[in-house]
A and B are shown apart, each in its own frame.
Chain A
Amino acid sequence: LTFDAIDSWWWPFLFIIVAGWLATDMWRFLGVYLGGRVSSDSEILVLVRAVATALVAGVISSLIVAPSGPLAATPLLLRIAAAAAGFAAYILTGHRILVGIFVGEAILVAGMLLL
Chain B
Amino acid sequence: MVSRRVAHGDFHPGGDPRFDVRGLRRLGDECGHDDRANGFHDGDDLGIARQGRGAINAGNGIFSAAFAVALSSMRLTPMVVALIPEMRTPRTSKWMLYLVSHFVAVTAWVLALEQMHRVPPERRTVWFLGLGSTLILINMIVVAVIYTLAADLPDALSAALLLLTPLYFVTSLWGSARERAGHVAMISGLLLWPLIHLVLPDFSLLATGVIGGAIAFGYHRHARGKRKRAAT
Residues of A within 8 A of B (CB): 1-5, 8-9, 12-16, 18-20, 22-32, 34-36, 38-40, 45-71, 73-74, 79, 82-83, 86-87, 90-91, 95, 97, 100-101, 104-105, 108-109, 112-113
Residue of A nearest to B22 (CB): A12
Instruction: List B contacts of A70 (CB < 8 A).
Output: 36, 155, 158-159, 162
Instruction: List B contacts of A60 (CB < 8 A).
Output: 43, 166, 169-170, 173, 189-190
Q: How would you classify the secondary structure of chain B's contact residues: helix, strand, loop or mixed?
A: helix
Contact with A along B162-205 (1 / 0, CB 8 A): 11111111111111011101101111111111101100000011
Cβ–Cβ contact B16 & A9, under 8 A: yes
- A48 nearest CB across to chain B (Å): 5
Known: A25-B101, A46-B181, A55-B209. A105 touches B85 (CB 8 A): no
* Bound: A8/B18 CA distance, A: 7
Cβ–Cβ contact A53 & B189, under 8 A: yes
Cβ–Cβ contact B181 & A31, under 8 A: no
- A70 nearest CB across to chain B (Å): 4
Number of B interface residues at 8 Å Cβ cutoff, please give it: 103
Residue of A nearest to B210 (CB): A51
Any A CB within 8 A of the CB of B211: yes
Cβ–Cβ contact B190 & A69, under 8 A: no
* Bound: A49/B214 CA distance, A: 11
Cβ–Cβ contact A69 & B36, under 8 A: yes
Choice from B18, B80, B179, B197 contacting A31 with Cβ under 8 Å: B80
Stretch at the interface among B4-12, B60-68, B137-145: B60-68
Residues of B within 8 A of A (CB): 16-18, 21-22, 25, 35-40, 43-44, 48, 52, 55-56, 59-63, 65-67, 69-70, 73-86, 88, 94, 97-98, 101-102, 104, 106, 109-110, 155-156, 158-160, 162-175, 177-179, 181-182, 184-194, 196-197, 204-206, 208-217, 220
The 6 residue pairs across chains A and B that have the minimum distance between CB atoms: A31-B80, A57-B189, A54-B212, A35-B84, A51-B213, A55-B209
* Bound: A108/B157 CA distance, A: 10
Cβ–Cβ contact B162 & A101, under 8 A: no
Instruction: List B contacts of A68 (CB < 8 A).
Output: 35, 38-39, 162
Known: A28-B80, A71-B163. A109 touches B156 (CB 8 A): yes
Choice from A34, A63, A97 contacting B172 with Cβ under 8 Å: A97
Cβ–Cβ contact B194 & A61, under 8 A: yes
Known: A59-B43, A62-B205. A20 touches B52 (CB 8 A): yes
Instruction: List B contacts of A38 (CB < 8 A).
Output: 81, 84-85
Residue of A nearest to B49 (CB): A20
